[in-house]
A and B are shown apart, each in its own frame.
Chain A
């Protein structure tokens, strides 16, 4: 597969083979010439980048640019899609997550995920948060209750739901449901939290709460967030990656990306000229 792709505007973009290194040296997630294919269609083209531990990294780009695909490759959620395959390497702490022999269950335990639409189970609030711990074999009621309370506090939801832990989670508002999903994801203490447009289905107020929450999670978790919303990326992320038609166009500290992008396409996209 060719490493170069034709893009409009007549410029050829040659993705770098060398990982882009930003900031410090510890990379939690590292992609090396990583590609994803849906059947014959290439969704992610030889992307190489390194994501730093404990920071918030935003992936931006127009619809269909492969940002969700890249995100879902990290916890192997693409396995659900028939005909999906990968090339290149995607390393998590130096271990290739695309290796067919790795234990996907323990990978997903290390890499939590929050989805576009809030998707709590049709169970009680308590059972939702305790779900992950339970399937990983925790039976002690006392420990479970501890985990539920800690996770809900961490997701800034405890005060709102502490009196209705036994009620169905589907009775919560959209924003509460999304924070519940975050609590559910961090209840199993992952190292990385993937967020696939977590606020696109929420109203502005709920969005603000989620953004605040992401700010609080920074440092404890490596957060990778896909977003359509440029202001959101600028507000909450430390690093930003700009994807266009499967190619990584630019990757760097958010401040730098939004103030002085090196690529013209980045500038065009950020300033709203396309996408």
Chain B
């Protein structure tokens, strides 16, 4: 039974159809890639899955429940987390506060508790701080917990963004071009990180990526999107030799006269 399934998902902006015939499914524990040339509609598809855009028509089922029409925060609470193509950290907050904010949905104390600084408030705040620190330790960021997020090097900002997304305790993570702007060595590290979080947190991952080596290396199945449509679907080996994919990426072959 797939954990996430979309059926005939369509998004139009005025007269422009950005995504159509978007049918994908993700089984639990899979690592799936979504690739396609620039402007193919990958991020639009992501935005529909996370509730940022409302699909024009079609269905999205997450854990056998429709999430169409839900607000992004509700979808997060249901267990879908995401990162952004252009990193969206809380730049002027400390590293640890970035993670603490992700714990917000699990906080039980009320506003009144915090105003009166009740025992419940102090207890929970202490737990949140400890949990956040522990979490940062897993991602080897604990020694920088008090630094501003904006002062971290690029690779660590990516890592923090992924850590922050995982702190919301998701079942499914959508990574939007995590390797964008990274050098080959950083990409290699990221590769290891993605494989590792999947094991460690028992996750299902959907990955948008331009970096072919990354996608071909880690993904079990790949969907290829072009002009808003899924043009191919299969294992990396199948995708590599699929003529429609090669056409989309490299252009048509000119017949030899």
Does B associate with A? no
Using a CB–CB cutoff of 8 Å, the interface residues on chain B facing chain A are none
Interfacial residues, chain A to chain B (CB-CB below 8 A): none
